[in-house]
Structure 1
Amino acid sequence: MKIPMNRVWKVASRWSERGTKESSVLDIFRRHNVVFVGRFQDRFRQIEVGDLIAISDAKRVVAMGLATSPPQPVTTMGLAFSEADLSRFDYDDGVLGCRVSFTDLSDKEQPSYRVSTFHGVNERADEFRRIFKTHRECFEEKQQFEIKARSCTLAHNELNKADVLWQDKLIFRVPVYQRPYSWQETQVRRLLGELIANFLGMNGRPIEEPMFIGTMQLTEKRLLDVTDRRQVQEVIDGQQRMSTLILLLNILRRRKPESTVWANLDIDNRLETAVSSGQQQRYLREALEADLQNSPDETQNPYLRMVSVIQQLLLEVEENGCGDGAPEANVPLNVERFAAYLLSRVYFVVIETRATLSKTLQIFDAINTSGMDLNGGDVFKVRYYEYLRVMRNVEETEFDSISKLYEMIDLRNRESGRIVCDIEDILSLVRHVLVARHGMQNVLHDYGAAVFFNRFFDTVLRINEWPNFPQEKCLSIDVHLEDFKRLIGVRFDWSEQLEGLSAEARSMWDFILWSRYSKYHYLIVLFRDRFGTDLALTERFVIQLGKLLLLFSIIYWRAVNEAHAIMHKIIGMMCKTGATSTADELINFLRSTAAEKEQQIENAFENYSIADNVRTKALACRLVAFLDELEDNKLDAKEMRKLIFDTEIDIEHIESVNHKDENERAKVHALWQNELNRIGNLMVLESSLNRSISNEDYKTVKLPSYRLRSKFRTVQMHADAFPEWNLESCKERKATLKRKLVRGCPEFCVNGSVRG
């Protein structure tokens, strides 16, 4: 993003006439990416999008950012202020605010400046622009970062007093994009068991042996509240361990509250979590305040469930003893010594990072493979949130809107009683829409959804450059939450309506999945997204799409670029900005494109040794069987699918390729040549039946079995039509099938449509 050279303004963060530190609303500014004033309204209204705003606390500029919205009454901005927030400033139409893309400055970057409420910066404007530009270029454009690593204990360190995690007035916050606290009994017992074993000296260890329990990744410290100089660090990795240790220490504190070991720990307020719209914070508070003597047996609160596990483990230790020099059975645990051990002899490697969110997660991936399971769906959730925060300056609560997409999918899957799709399926659909809508390179249709969105976000956030992702094009694209919501609904509605398709339409859907181009099944969802959910209209599209993909799959014995190009054109006709094609025009395009293949499909049935290609012979012979059943019109969609696609079949050579009489075999090969493997001599047959008749004589063994034992109408019809089987019969059958498939069949032909 080009750094503008617009005007520079300074806004103070103390909300009182006298500017006392107790009145600071800096944390409100920071949480909501906003600044506001109650005075100087005429001047404040002069702020324009792109202006640089410096946010001060007393005589120090602590943050800067670009204005991302014009000034307006704070009551109209749709900001999710809490009741506690609203008690700290005047929430009325007389307060003007504007959104700001917040950039926190480190202590060494913060310039001193004169005290005032709000004014334009003139004499030092270039200095402020330079500070902001340097920071932006370093951490956002060049994606540089700073890492500090040190070995820390929780609260007391004999070797270095500064190397403690729980420093005075420091709060740890689990960011909104993290998962909830999710440790179960197995993980809690493992950690606590090791802590107790080291403390008590189990298994020959020294008593109170120091213990290392892994790394913890945190963001840099940021000033949270200037009133008491509280600072905050976000927990990128280590939430589960820190939460569990806090629960353990709280239980120990309840046993001996009068001990001085708890001084200055602030256990109740040491950890905050923004996950799940504050629900996880309520759960944590409930667990810390719970009556430990009457813990509920069943609860939705994950922290409270582990409180019961911790108490049970401590009880087991005291009742059973630990041996090897540990206390005997039924001896209470020394609470003060155990707490002191936890606070001073348990070590972390603490890694503090200063970087953008994307870079921070890259560092996390490099450091640790535990904690967050960053699969494609999780990565998208975090990166899309970062994209919205940077590009649209949305509220933190917008992450909940993103999370609701995942909840929508889970709910619809539960309602369906099966897994219809997952978030990555929806990402793939949106990817196709974006590529077509904005005229991006067609090759992007073939990218994995996770790769596509990662590279797109890399581009718009200026993290990396990728082929086929031109920055100017990507910056012009808005990734709307509504696209995801809408396509989730369309995808699940299609799954539900699938069972209502006619026998021919449902079979053509299955043929699409069996074809060489099965990946294009998503075109049906995009068609319904564009043209609506009328089932009859959907059937017409499915039939014509299935026919075209079948033709390409039979004519060409591998996937070809011509077919991909046609599919990409269809996507464009449906999704490209300004597309005007009607549903009828799209269906007619499919029909006319198939008609152009008439000569090629006729040649395939006349001359191809179809038996030489597994997929071709399976498709062609199933298609023949399907058309014969369709002509009879007795099977419904479910019965048709069970017969044509679920029956275990072989492709039978009516005249055996390997006649059991070797002398006869040589004669057959010399006479029949390639006709042995062409469509005239091939037919579907139940696998068990095919293997029972093997290579036996046609007239005495095969013919009666065809007529009496096969449930396929095409096999029975063949038995009635051909009491004798020879080369002339084979050519006659081939000609009949060719006419049916290419020209003469009213149910299916290149120039027609299935059932019209």
Structure 2
Amino acid sequence: MSASSITSQDLSIGQIFQNFYRVPDYQREYVWSESDAKGERGEEVEQFLKDILSEFEQATKDGAPEYFIGTIVVCPGEDSVFDLIDGQQRSTTSFLTLCALRDLLVELGETVPSTLAGQIAAQDTNWQGETRERMRLDLQYEDASGVLVEYGEGRGKNARREGTRSIRNLANAYDTIREFLSVQFPSDANGLRRFHGYFTNKVKLIRIETPNVSRALKIFETINDRGVGLDAMDLLKNLLFMKAKQSDFGKLKDVWKGVTQAIYDAREKPLRFLRYYLLATYDVDAKLQEEDIYDWLTRNEAQTGHGIDPIGFAERLRQSALAYQNYSRGRNPAGGADHGIYNTRLLGGSAVKTHYILLLSGRHLAPDLFERLTRQIEETMFVWLIAGVASKDYERVIVQAARNLRRATDAATFAKFEQEFLVHQKSLNMQMFRNALLRLHTYDLRKFRLRYLLAKLTRHFDVLAYGEAGRESLSHYMEAKNDIEHILAQGADDDAKLEFGEGADSFELIQRLGNLMLIEASLNRVINNRPYSEKIATYPSSQFLLARCQAAPLTIGVNDRITRAIQKLDPASSWDRSAIDRRQQWIADAALEIWGVPSPNPKATSEFEMLIPSPNP
């Protein structure tokens, strides 16, 4: 091969594994068969085998169809070993399939064909005449920890399964392959041999060989242009290696590993993180979609600086990924407790993460300003969610705001941003927010969001009365030992219904927000389905001021803070339809204070567009 030539060959799996390959240490780890958040294995390996089996089953005694599984890109390495630049996932899976076929034949007491054994490992003699046994495939990245040798040597069932991400993924893949083959060819040595014959002779790859790493990386980019085959995260990694000096590969590899590990620990999709990072950090149109990320990066090198300083760009990405990981755990960028972030997770659930764009863009703020930011984000997100603002609408305005937030460097500029965006958005949606609360029922909200609403309401008056010490977190109010009490119970007894009067059997009335209260589960069990006149004897036993004063205000003092807090409450000595109406209106009004929602100011101006809520929360 000349110094500039590129060659390609159409080869079978059997021909591919007549050579030796190594996956360089700067490559990404093996990710096929990675378990998801529920512990379920990925589907790539099983689909790989199903597709091959489908073609295998069409074989006749006269011939069999060929099956193409893609390309691999290699360049010459040391000791007559190819460096595998692209195609690691399918190559590693193919190698594990050969190992599993051999292992199953051994367990059936069958002789392993020498061709199969030679496709897994073979002797190699170097120019000095030294001969050694080596695996056809060697994973050199640190996460692999040499575990592939255990599969190559026939110790797959007892190979390591815990440790790094790659160790777990390789174990999952091997187990999936064994299970698949055992189901398709139960105690069938001839079937296994036929499948091996098809797999190594009729399953084809195109091997592209380049003279050096730089050319191989460029081919990698061309093959996977626009995300075909690989996603933008993989293409970005390749792009950074293309821009880096080969002497910096080791350092870049370590930084990139930190990026991917932080995203993995956050249980986040890499492309969502990358999209949010770009939207938070650069001037990017909110319409940018995941499939457009790589194109955007290649066109905006002047903004990102990844071309002249790939390691610096990767390090900034790593720092943001670490912050993102902390956000996913309800913590601030440094890993400390942050009640605004924690509470936003409670009200939004695991799927609502668009506000992470603002958290990423505000990472530079001083700790006290960042804390103000997170509390305001919590309040604004709740207003949007209750008012029924569509996620695509508030994402658009969040991206617009992130640009301004990046320029907020001190208390004065942050306060300006706070008023013009966060407070302004709450004000714009105040009427829709209040109207939604006035008509809210349990079935209008997911349960975790309803618990958040009642917990926040209950905590607010406890803090007014007793101070914030010991009540900084909302977690105490969200605990399972607290129940959502239906004041008119869902299964009210006859006495309770008689006392309540008209509407006692109304499902709609029972499920209204005005009929709900947070109370300890132990007290809820005591009052159960009893009449209100009997329940009110138990309510004062609650530790929550709102529940204690449900029927009548406590008499404490004249103008102390507890008395002032109690004066804000709206006790009800009796319970009927009008009491539920009145309490729901009181909650809606109290919510404006609790979530800091000001009345619309027609004279207020802001560069941020108004969001148009949908009719229902």
TM-score bucket (shorter structure): 0.5 to 0.7
Structure 2 equivalent of residue 520 of structure 1: 354
**Pair 1:750 & 2:597 matched:** yes
CA distance in 1, matches of 2:95, 2:352: 48
**Pair 1:668 & 2:502 matched:** yes
Deviation at 1:421, TM superposition (A): 1.2
CA distance in 2, matches of 1:530, 1:491: 14
Structure 1 residues 492, 742: CA separation in 2 closer, same or farther (over 3 Å shift)? closer
1:388 is matched with which residue: 237, 240, 246?
Answer: 240
1:443 is matched with which residue: 279, 283, 287?
Answer: 287
**Pair 1:356 & 2:243 matched:** no
Q: For 1:520, give the aligned amino acid.
A: T
Residues 94-105 of structure 1: pairs in structure 2 closer than 5 A: 104-105=5-6
1:707 is matched with which residue: 514, 536, 540?
Answer: 540
CA distance in 1, matches of 2:361, 2:272: 15
**Pair 1:542 & 2:374 matched:** yes
Question: Retained in 2: the 8 A contact 1:706–1:716?
Answer: yes
SS at match of 2:484: strand
1:313-367 Cα deviation digits (max 9, x unpaired): xxxxxxxxxxx9xxxxxxxxxxxxxxxxx99x985745224493256579x999x
Structure 2 equivalent of residue 456 of structure 1: 293
Residues 138-177 of structure 1: pairs in structure 2 closer than 5 A: 148-151=9-12, 166=18, 172-175=21-24, 176-177=26-27
Structure 1 residues 637, 590: CA separation in 2 closer, same or farther (over 3 Å shift)? farther
CA distance in 2, matches of 1:673, 1:248: 70
Deviation at 1:571, TM superposition (A): 1.9
1:684-732 Cα deviation digits (max 9, x unpaired): 2456654664543110x32123233x44332112133434334565565
CA distance in 2, matches of 1:149, 1:646: 61
1:642 is matched with which residue: 469, 476, 486?
Answer: 476
Question: Retained in 1: the 8 A contact 2:483–2:520?
Answer: yes
Structure 2 equivalent of residue 574 of structure 1: 405
Structure 1 residues 677, 386: CA separation in 2 closer, same or farther (over 3 Å shift)? closer
Structure 1 residues 282, 246: CA separation in 2 closer, same or farther (over 3 Å shift)? farther
Question: Retained in 2: the 8 A contact 1:152–1:350?
Answer: yes
Deviation at 1:388, TM superposition (A): 2.8
Greater shift in the superposed pair: 275-284 or 379-388: 275-284
Structure 2 equivalent of residue 608 of structure 1: 439
**Identical residues among aligned pairs (%):** 12
CA distance in 1, matches of 2:205, 2:586: 75
CA distance in 1, matches of 2:472, 2:388: 30
1:241-265 Cα deviation digits (max 9, x unpaired): 76979996699999xx99xxxxx99
Question: Retained in 2: the 8 A contact 1:572–1:579?
Answer: no
Q: For 1:706, give the aligned amino acid.
A: Y
Any unmatched runs of 5+ in structure 2? 34-66, 100-113, 154-159, 172-188, 190-195, 209-217, 307-312, 553-570, 600-617
Q: For 1:487, give the aligned amino acid.
A: S
Q: For 1:441, give the aligned amino acid.
A: D
Deviation at 1:407, TM superposition (A): 4.3
Structure 1 equivalent of residue 611 of structure 2: none
Deviation at 1:487, TM superposition (A): 0.8
Structure 1 residues 349, 732: CA separation in 2 closer, same or farther (over 3 Å shift)? closer
Q: For 1:627, give the aligned amino acid.
A: H
Structure 1 residues 585, 651: CA separation in 2 closer, same or farther (over 3 Å shift)? farther
SS at match of 2:575: coil
Q: Alignment length, in residue pairs?
A: 482
Structure 1 residues 665, 634: CA separation in 2 closer, same or farther (over 3 Å shift)? same
CA distance in 2, matches of 1:577, 1:663: 58
Structure 1 residues 588, 662: CA separation in 2 closer, same or farther (over 3 Å shift)? closer
CA distance in 1, matches of 2:422, 2:490: 37
1:77-122 Cα deviation digits (max 9, x unpaired): xxxxxxxxxxxxxxxxxxxxxxxxxxx344xxxxxxxxxxxxxxxx
Structure 1 equivalent of residue 364 of structure 2: 530
Residues 60-139 of structure 1: pairs in structure 2 closer than 5 A: 62-63=3-4, 104-106=5-7
Structure 1 residues 239, 610: CA separation in 2 closer, same or farther (over 3 Å shift)? closer
Structure 2 equivalent of residue 126 of structure 1: none
CA distance in 2, matches of 1:457, 1:569: 21
Structure 1 residues 241, 400: CA separation in 2 closer, same or farther (over 3 Å shift)? farther
Structure 1 equivalent of residue 141 of structure 2: 276
Structure 2 equivalent of residue 424 of structure 1: 269
Question: Retained in 1: the 8 A contact 2:486–2:510?
Answer: no
**Pair 1:584 & 2:385 matched:** no
Structure 1 residues 576, 542: CA separation in 2 closer, same or farther (over 3 Å shift)? closer
**Pair 1:405 & 2:256 matched:** yes
1:552-599 Cα deviation digits (max 9, x unpaired): 233x24636553343233222234899999333233334531552485
CA-based RMSD of the aligned residues comes to: 6.3
Any unmatched runs of 5+ in structure 1? 1-25, 27-56, 64-103, 107-145, 155-163, 184-213, 259-263, 291-296, 307-323, 325-341, 367-373, 414-418, 462-471
**Pair 1:633 & 2:483 matched:** no
SS at match of 2:27: coil
Question: Retained in 1: the 8 A contact 2:482–2:518?
Answer: no
Larger Rg: 1
Question: Retained in 2: the 8 A contact 1:601–1:742?
Answer: no
1:27-79 Cα deviation digits (max 9, x unpaired): xxxxxxxxxxxxxxxxxxxxxxxxxxxxxx6xxxx41xxxxxxxxxxxxxxxx
Structure 1 residues 359, 693: CA separation in 2 closer, same or farther (over 3 Å shift)? farther
Question: Retained in 2: the 8 A contact 1:655–1:725?
Answer: no
Deviation at 1:231, TM superposition (A): 9.2
**Pair 1:740 & 2:590 matched:** yes
TM-score normalised by structure 2 residue count: 0.57
Deviation at 1:434, TM superposition (A): 1.8
Structure 1 residues 531, 500: CA separation in 2 closer, same or farther (over 3 Å shift)? closer
Residues 343-382 of structure 1: pairs in structure 2 closer than 5 A: 349-354=203-208, 356-358=219-221, 382=234
Structure 1 residues 725, 400: CA separation in 2 closer, same or farther (over 3 Å shift)? same
Structure 1 residues 518, 349: CA separation in 2 closer, same or farther (over 3 Å shift)? closer
Residues 471-510 of structure 1: pairs in structure 2 closer than 5 A: 478-479=305-306, 480-492=313-325, 495=329, 497=331, 501=337, 505=340, 508-510=343-345
Structure 1 residues 505, 105: CA separation in 2 closer, same or farther (over 3 Å shift)? closer
Question: Retained in 2: the 8 A contact 1:174–1:274?
Answer: yes
CA distance in 1, matches of 2:265, 2:471: 20
Structure 1 residues 621, 404: CA separation in 2 closer, same or farther (over 3 Å shift)? same
Q: For 1:742, give the aligned amino acid.
A: L
Deviation at 1:547, TM superposition (A): 1.4
Question: Retained in 2: the 8 A contact 1:218–1:351?
Answer: yes
Structure 1 residues 218, 400: CA separation in 2 closer, same or farther (over 3 Å shift)? farther
Structure 1 residues 618, 233: CA separation in 2 closer, same or farther (over 3 Å shift)? closer
Q: For 1:547, give the aligned amino acid.
A: E
CA distance in 2, matches of 1:458, 1:643: 47
Structure 1 residues 652, 231: CA separation in 2 closer, same or farther (over 3 Å shift)? closer
Deviation at 1:641, TM superposition (A): 0.9
Structure 1 residues 274, 667: CA separation in 2 closer, same or farther (over 3 Å shift)? closer
Question: Retained in 1: the 8 A contact 2:514–2:583?
Answer: yes
CA distance in 2, matches of 1:561, 1:241: 42
Question: Retained in 2: the 8 A contact 1:608–1:678?
Answer: yes
Structure 1 residues 581, 565: CA separation in 2 closer, same or farther (over 3 Å shift)? farther
Structure 1 equivalent of residue 394 of structure 2: 563
